[in-house]
Amino acid sequence: MLVLGIETSCDETAVAVVEGPAGPQPVGKILSNTVYSQLTEHRRFGGVVPEIAARAHLERIDGLIEQALAEAGVGLADLDGIAATGGPGLIGGVMVGVMTGKALAFAHDKPFLAVNHLEGHALSVRLTEPVEFPYLLLLASGGHCQLLTVRGPGDFTRLGTTIDDAAGECFDKTAKLLGLGFPGGPAVEKAAAGGDPKRFALPRPMWRKPGCDFSFSGLKTAVRQAAEKLDPSDPRAVADLCASFQRTVGDVFADRCTNALTLAPMPTLVVAGGVAANVYLRGRLEEVAAAHGAKLVAPPVRLCTDNGAMIAWAGVERLRLGRVDALDFRPRPRWPLDPTATTAKRV
């Protein structure tokens, strides 16, 4: 079963070809995984500019599809399906991927699969590890921070979400405040490696409170206030603040996941999304999982950030269940994994 995956929800234009087993068992094979990261286009703005991102997707998508097919050694006629991120995301970019995917599916008479970007992250671990349903998922990225139970494709129950900012967005803002560059997550992690995590006492929003919701706006404000008092040319001070910030996020993740594992005991805790690439945070979550008799599993680092392989794999999972989308599918700027979940509120 061969599926082409197209990802254009933010600032990575990504195309991949994945081979999946026909049966229900997990673990597939990545035949190609091409990514064009728009760092050059957005770095001087310190963040992603939606209009620039959409134009870059449009300019690169055709060439990346050709490259992905060539690297995989297959043609469009060999594919069993074409998957594209249908949302959520920056709508201009999502439209580029969806329209490209639908055009290819129509022209070559292939099934079209509109994939929820978040589901791509949620299922990505099964592409490389034999993780069985159900499992508990911490989905942490630049735009999302949620805890969910995953029982299968399209079958999610949200236990908690952020009431304000996402963890990844907090990493990016911290990096920007300290002049560490963009993207912020890897920059903060690198700086924190040489810092003292106990130097700065930062607030831990929602810590030791009931439930599984997150909050990061107060932490972001505290980092800004601390940064304003520092000499940005002092690498030791910057490293200490990054280490203290990273430790605080680890405290929050550990506390929230402890509540989730108590509320919904699972044999596996999965962490996915861009923030899952942080080695320190993975270590903290391994400790939490072990304390509850669970195992922590995370996708390879290359599959934590946005990529076409996770979209192709989610397409494989959906295609095996016969969940094909019509060509009148409309791109969605918002698309919750659990549409029945209520909006998180401040407590």
185-210 pLDDT, tens digit per residue, is 999 999 999 899 999 999 999 999 99
Planar angle of CA 18, 21, 22, nearest 5 degrees: 120
Six-digit token pair at 123? 């299922």
Question: How high is the pLDDT of residue 233?
Answer: 74
Check whether 32 has a pLDDT greater than 60. yes
Planar angle of CA 248, 254, 260, nearest 5 degrees: 140
Check whether 344 has a pLDDT greater than 60. no
Residue 215 CA from chain centroid, whole number:
18
- Among 122-126, 156-160, 177-181, 319-323, where is mean pLDDT lowest? 177-181
Identify the burial level of 38 via C-beta atoms within 10 angstroms of its C-beta, where 0-12 means exposed, 13-18 middle and 19 or more buried. buried
In the chain, the percentage of residues whose pLDDT exceeds 90 is: 85
Sheet strand arrangement including 29-37: 29-37, 12-19, 2-7, 81-87, 112-116
Q: What is the fold, at CATH topology level, of the domain defined by 135-298?
A: Nucleotidyltransferase; domain 5 (3.30.420)
In the chain, the percentage of residues whose pLDDT exceeds 70 is: 96
**pTM confidence score:** 0.93
In the predicted model, what is the mean pLDDT of residues 325-335?
97
Question: How high is the pLDDT of residue 24?
Answer: 67
Say which CATH class 2-128+302-320 falls into: alpha beta
Question: How high is the pLDDT of residue 232?
Answer: 67
Region(s) of the chain under CATH 3.30.420.40: 2-128+302-320, 135-298
Cα(317)–Cα(21) distance, rounded to whole angstroms? Answer: 9
Identify the burial level of 157 via C-beta atoms within 10 angstroms of its C-beta, where 0-12 means exposed, 13-18 middle and 19 or more buried. middle
| 328 — pLDDT class (breaks 50, 70, 90) | very high
Check whether 345 has a pLDDT greater than 60. no
Question: How high is the pLDDT of residue 182?
Answer: 78
| Residue bearing the bigger pLDDT, 73 or 346 | 73
Those residues with Cβ within 8 angstroms of residue 130's Cβ, 6 or more apart along the chain or in another chain: 25, 26, 27
